[in-house]
Amino acid sequence: MKIVSKYKDYYDGVQSIGFDESLVYVRHVTLKSVKKPKTYGSYLQNSEDTLELDRINLETGAYMPKQEHIDCFELEVGFCGKLYPAIIFKHIKDENEIDKKVFYNANSVLNYLKQLKNKYKNLYYRCSFYNYYLEEPTDNFLNNYFKQKKYEYSYESWFQEFETPIFIFTSDPDQSKRNWNDKRNEDLLYIISNPNLKEIEFYRIKDNYSAYQELSQFLGGVLSNTEINTSNLTDKEKIQQHGFDLKYGFRTRPNKKK
């Protein structure tokens, strides 16, 4: 698989050991709206009512916007037919992000919270539905999130409809302008296709060889009949794909003067 992209991801280096030039992955990050798949209802039915963790206040429980804290985000990563749950922790100090951690299982989160507890005297856990937790999130709380039944199933048809091997769910970027009376908006989802997996530390669950191999097989199989193929390449990308340089393109290079 040949990767044509403006950014580097953690599995790109696998190309150095050889690849099939007939299979091209045009990897552009795109924010787009998509129609809810027919199976979206069953996906929701298999979702547990998890208590979303929004913020960890450090040292004091009093809410102050500029206080040192850790923002928490739940994330679902769509990769080659399956969905993977994650939790992102962004350490904010003086309104700047100084650290970020992404975890894909409950034990990793619990170990991280234990490290925080050892470093800070008092931690206050804030969630969506209540002001604060008085205690740290439990095994049960985290397992309810990471082991939801919906993650046991394949969603290959979604990837075919979205025409991408990788995506993450996101919110409507224009919510302030959204017409909430327009029922057509209820049928839409928003995704970021082809996100940089290195930035969300996906290597914690898929090493570079496994990620590259699965992508190759998925693009060559499940997505082989979609628009993700060489017909979408720009002239510049086609030039690079076939080993020509950008200066002379498909034209013959001039002979050097002796």
33-50 per-position pLDDT tens digit: 999 999 999 999 988 877
Query: Band of the pLDDT at 224, cuts 50, 70, 90?
Result: confident
pLDDT tens digits, one per residue of 101-135: 999 999 999 999 999 999 988 888 888 777 777 77
Q: Residue 60 pLDDT more than 70?
A: no
The answer to whether position 242 is within a domain reads no
Residue 119 is assigned to a structural domain of this protein: yes
In a domain, 240, yes or no: no
Domain membership flag for residue 98: yes
| Contacts by residues 214-220 (CB-CB < 8 Å, ≥ 24 positions apart) | 214/79, 214/80, 215/1, 215/11, 215/25, 215/80, 215/165, 215/166, 216/1, 216/19, 216/20, 216/23, 217/80, 218/80, 218/81, 218/159, 218/165, 219/1, 219/23, 219/25, 219/165, 220/1, 220/20, 220/23
Prediction pTM value: 0.82
Using a pLDDT cut of 90, give the percent of the chain over it. 53
CA within 13 Å, CB half, 193: 20
| Residue 200 covered by a domain | no
At residue 121, the pLDDT reads: 81
- Specify the number of domains making up the chain: 1
The SS3 of residue 180 is coil
Residue 212 counted as domain residue: no
Q: Which residue range forms the structural domain that includes residue 53?
A: 49-150
